[in-house]
Structure 1
Amino acid sequence: MPGPPDGSAAEGGGRGGLPRALSGLTTRGRSFLAAGAAAGVCSYLLGQPDLLRVAALLVALPLVCVVVVARTRYRAAGGRRLTPTRVPAMSQARVVLRVENVSRLPTGMLMLQDRVPYVLGPRPRFVLDRVEPGGHREVSYRVRSDLRGRYPLGPLQLTLCDPFGMCELTRPFDDSDTLTVVPRVERLPVVRLGGDAPGYGDGRSRVLALAGEDDVIPRGYRHGDDLRRVHWRSTARYGELMVRREEQPHRARCTVLLDTRRTAFPGEGPDSAFEWAVTGAASVVVHMLQQGFTARVVTDTGSAVPATWAMGAAGGGGEASEAAGVLLDALAVVERSEGTELSRAHEALRGDTEGLLVAFLGELDEAQASSVARLRRRGGTAVAFVVDTQEDGTAVEGPLRVLRTAGWSAVAVRPGDLLPELWRRAAGVDARGTREAAR
């Protein structure tokens, strides 16, 4: 017999005694008791014995249901299977609930209910018919969120009720799961980024893996080593054949600066400028990881997301997918900051002397733009996407001029712009793949 879905299993039952069963009277059951009591009083006041029989029936029916539910003994195991556990925003995930009767007696009618946050949709409820001993039932529902974040699912609640709906007993299970809604990732074209820095010469393009210098410490010769790698000076010194160590690859780096200042991004919701910036940062880091770069995200607060570099692999292999998952999980819970300056980001990136720098920025004044402009290292490549918060486009003219003068490839982002096109524009490439003339 197949086991329950992945996740912790729990047991439930109708045990709890008469006091617990009485507290589980439904509105219908309480109404029957009230009507029976009223009929009994009327029977006494009016002297109608037939009305007393009706009162006894109205009172007895819910009480009998309470006794039946209280004496019901069953053991049920429940579980949940969430597929997948990580979904992009505006995508659906499927939840499968499984209830198994592990007792020797059949159950009555059961009501299954799962707790979900309101942003994922209405709370799912299912009515299950009688479950035979050793049998199980599976039901499923779908959840969808337009907002990124981590959302708890559960605990699962199993409600035992009588056929007349007079009494219900709810027993929660102790299992729960977490659905992670990550930012959407847009596929970016493979282009060669480069910046022109006035006074510094042409910017250098970063390759995927640069061959480093040989390790100066030789090692002993091993069968199969290339004789061309024999280190003759060490061989003469130690009296045995020594070879140079293999070249150690040096990975190119990419840092994505994400501006999270609340004052820099007006508006709320999944279509806001800030959510566009988070989506852009997620798309760039995933793209660079697939190209073999090591990548990280740094916010205006100076904190890295995650705290260490994520290592990619050319071709988007398993290593790149795992690293991308770590970054996306971290970006799923990035919130807006209450800061107004970018000085902490400048301090966090002060020690970086190499690698590609991509910034997603909100509203800037020229002083803040000058602070960002100093983040670009001599001869390095830096790209900035500045969100235009004004419809006339005048808000970004000054910051763009400051960034471009410092050698940045700065692009204004306006409502409706597509990130792949902006990525090409930052590299100076048009939609046909030809390089545009420098402006």
Structure 2
Amino acid sequence: MRSRRPLTVRGLAALLTGVLLVIAANLLAAPVLLYVAVLLFALLVLGILVVHVPRRGGSVTRRISTDLLTVGETSQVAVRFDLRALRVPFGTWRDELPDAVTGDAEGDFPTDNGTSIRYTMTGVRRGVWAVGPLSLRTIDPFGFAQRLQDFGDTRTVTVVPEVVPLAPLTGDTGAAGGTAHTASARLGQGSDNLSPRLYVSGDSMRRIHWRATAHRGNLMVRQEEEESSPDAIVVLDRASRRWAPHSDEVDPGFEAAVSACASTALHLVQEGYSVDVRDSAGSTLGTLRGQEDDRDSLLVALAMVTPQGETRDLVSLFDGTPPGPLVMITGRIDEEDAALLRHGGAGTPILLAAEPLPGALEAAAATGWYTGELDDVSAAWDHAIAGHVAPGGGHVPR
């Protein structure tokens, strides 16, 4: 926070000099020193009047190039500042930034009123933060007096977790695009991917396939058939006992887990899966069905997530049907907890742990989990889908 005192360092020095000159004038009986002191005091008063008397108002409008700022990503910020005041002799501006972002958000105030001020900011810590207000520091022509004013409201910026590119699921860990997942019978009314057939007496008129009817010249209906249902579940273990005690300090393990949750969920939906993202208590953090809004909603939810609550049995999160891939992301886990962790027959159970205790990953692998340690999200994923226990660990036979 910049100082709001009325005098600059130069002004304070001038004030002190004037006081010393008054003292010296009396001690040395030198009136000329008193005249110089009076001149300094007059300049100080004039400078204060120049910067503090004029009434100033203004409006601030901010435009950020990205709605959601990812950790490590740089965004452009354009600030439109319309100042209603007499000409500012000299001024500097500064946009107040939270600790969660970095940027060079200050500079000399432009002489042309109404021009845009631009700077860049980089996301450092996920969360929802306030940017602003914009402050204007004006200085008189002599550099003696200063005035600091705030203009405009704050603008909220959402910093979402980093999304890391991941390798595709291959081999015995599942096929991309949902070709090795559970299947379910669906009627498919309104789905153009079902095969049409000729209309027969007794078929419901609601099942008429109008596009095929117009194309073939005969009345066609939608054929019921079994179609692939590529489902995946990503679970973020938020149980308090898995993570460092709550404090103002950032927990690197939990941040890596949140990044892994976002990365795996978005990666799986790109491979053709329908992805449900839940926490360990069963609460839904997001559902991904290939829509951009789904992606943004998940990232916003993960931007604000914190450790809390307890862990439910994973099988109870399946709604009765085991998914294809099941990704469990946890923190501190010991060998006993890992041995009791059930995947319920999921096609591809993957366990990523930020702080596994000795023997924990081996115990999970023995029950069918593909495991990896979250030192690095991409490396942990690579080791898990390759069937490794952890970086430096041995290969687990499948």
Task: Give the TM-score, by structure 1 length.
Answer: 0.68
Partner in structure 2 of residue 298 of structure 1:
278
Q: Does residue 285 of the first structure (1) align with residue 250 of the second (2)?
A: no
Q: 1:33–1:169: structure 2 CA closer, same or farther, 3 Å change rule?
A: same
Secondary structure in structure 2 of the residue aligned to 1:117: coil
Q: Aligned Cα RMSD in Å?
A: 4.1
Counterpart pick for 1:385 among 329, 333, 351: 351
Q: CA deviation at 1:113?
A: 0.8
- Report what 1:413 is aligned to: 373
1:212 is the counterpart of 2:181: no
Give the conservation status (yes or no) of the 8 Å contact 2:352–2:380: no
Q: Does 1:335 align with 2:306?
A: yes
CA distance in 1 between counterparts of 2:100 and 2:281 reads 28
Change in 2 beyond 3 A, CA 1:77/1:58: same
**Residue pairs, 1:40-189, within 5 angstroms:** 40-44=22-26, 46-101=28-83, 105-121=86-102, 124-128=105-109, 130-131=111-112, 135-189=113-167
CA shift, 1:398, in A, is 2.1
The gaps in structure 1 that reach 5 residues or longer are 1-21, 197-203, 219-225, 236-241, 313-318, 428-435
How far, CA to CA, are the matches of 1:346 and 1:371 in structure 2?
Answer: 11
Q: Distance in 1 between matches of 2:362 and 2:107?
A: 57
CA contact (8 A) 2:69 2:123 kept: no
Aligned residues: 365
* Contact 2:232–2:268, Cα closer than 8 Å, also in 1: yes
1:376 partnered with 2:344: yes
The equivalences for 1:251-270 within 5 A come to: 252-261=230-239, 263-264=241-242
Shift of residue 285, structure 1, vs aligned partner = 0.9
Is the 8 Å Cα contact of residues 260 and 300 (structure 1) preserved in structure 2? yes
Contact kept, 8 Å, 1:384 with 1:411, in 2: the verdict is yes
- Give the structure 1 partner of residue 198 of structure 2: 228
Contact conserved, 2:173 with 2:385, CA < 8 A, in 1? Answer: no
**Change in 2 beyond 3 A, CA 1:366/1:118:** closer
User: What's the CA shift for 1:243?
Assistant: 8.6
Identity of aligned residues (%): 25
Q: Separation in 1 of the partners of 2:289 and 2:88?
A: 53
Q: Do 1:150 and 1:180's aligned partners in 2 also have CA atoms closer than 8 Å? A: yes
Aligned partner letter, 1:365: D
* Matched-pair contact (CA < 8 Å) for 2:181–2:229: no
**How far off its partner does 1:291 sit?**
3.5
Q: Is the Cα–Cα contact under 8 Å of residues 8 and 144 in structure 2 kept in the other structure?
A: yes
Following superposition, the deviation at residue 59 of structure 1 comes to 0.7
Give secondary structure in 2 for the equivalent of 1:58.
helix
Task: Give unmatched runs, 5+ long, in structure 2.
Answer: 191-195, 206-218, 389-394
- Corresponding residue SS for 2:238: coil
Question: Counterpart of 1:257 in 2: which secondary structure?
Answer: strand
**Structure 1 residues 281-313: Cα deviation after superposition (integer angstroms, max 9, x where no partner):** 11121122223433232223443214xx3322x
CA contact (8 A) 2:89 2:138 kept: yes
